[in-house]
Copies of this chain bind each other. A is one copy, B any other.
């Protein structure tokens, strides 16, 4: 590049005339535009960390607020270090074509080369941190910080990157972008922004974490007949939870549209716009379906409650549900995906309670179950035209007149991710448990983690400050 000029001179118009001069200018513009787009999208995805943090903080009891916030802050940090050191290399450093795992660019050593440029790492890091942070909610209010940070590093440095390699890279056996061999069912998985690759990875880890660490003390108690029932443990601040949800929704506009990974080639801009529209409609539809379903059921039982947390989690359910298909589905199909996503969330949340698995944030219901549904939805509803445009494939959704290839890829992807993450994370959490570093002591849990582990409560409200 030419050295930078003084700031106030840095915008002088460039004189162009010949085709060669134009071509040089176009090269600069292309690099600039793609970088600007991805940096901004990645920044929005990064802000989802703040969204998760606020949602989590608001959803736990006030005695465990600093604890969950620390975990959220530090998994962003562990994600950065973990993905820089090993994760990126495992995900995208394919020295050996068609290997199951990448094997160069550790510590970004030979970097940047080709498409492996900084913006791409930045965007991918933000995704890794998102996958990691999903777990914090499911294990909230009883998990040791030390186990959590180990988990966070392990996931972002190894577990998640391998799935990325499979699902997205040019060497992935599941990937629709595999350029080394035949694609799975002649198409590969349509997982545009990562229902399988991101949400299910976090969701499966969250499931095993929640099971293995066990429910919070007093969460499930026997009633008079000896049947275990759920004891409500409402979060301490609805405004924080709402803020967090809005920040997540906002960040999703980086997550889904940004998954074009470039915007200068013809058609990419419209694809990104389509992703934004589908993201919006699915979120809205999901919020309506959970809220009205829960209202209807409470109304049927006598007294209808408009439960804000249903609207919040419903919108997140809708957002997850469209994360695979946002680039290849039509708006009407996104509305359907969102509506069903709201039902899936509601059902899964109750199923978890039935199974006596304690997930304080419903992270498993939102990210695992709706992640599965979202991957399937893309297999059912991806349109012929959009599949041709985005993936250059004649395959399309089962409900759109296509054959079962896309649906099949979704099912294989779901099973593979479930299996892989289970195979690594269940033993990991069990090992932490055996080592006695997974769960805080009963006294500490009763007292609250903030006082017992973090030097004090999260709030210090002076009586006098309240008139």
Contacts and interface: CB of A to CB of B under 8 A. Distances in A.
A399 interface: no
A467 B460 contact: yes
A358 B175 CA distance: 57
Q: Which 5 A-B pairs have the closest CB atoms?
A: A1-B267, A3-B392, A35-B269, A6-B170, A118-B273
Nearest to A172: B6
A400 interface: no
Contacts of A29: 26, 29-30, 33, 264
A47 B117 contact: no
Contacts of A390: 1, 3-4
Among A7, A112, A393, which residue has the most Cβ atoms of chain B within 10 A? Answer: A7
A39 B3 contact: no
A246 to B, nearest CB: 4
25 contacts: A2-B267, A3-B393, A6-B169, A6-B179, A8-B94, A11-B120, A26-B26, A32-B37, A35-B263, A43-B250, A54-B243, A57-B242, A69-B308, A70-B308, A73-B245, A73-B246, A73-B315, A111-B331, A119-B270, A119-B272, A236-B465, A238-B458, A239-B458, A447-B464, A448-B465
A36 B287 contact: no
A418 B14 CA distance: 39
A237 B459 contact: yes
A460 B308 contact: no
A363 interface: no
A436 to B, nearest CB: 16
Contacts of A50: 243, 246-247, 250
A80 interface: yes
Nearest to A170: B6
A160 interface: no
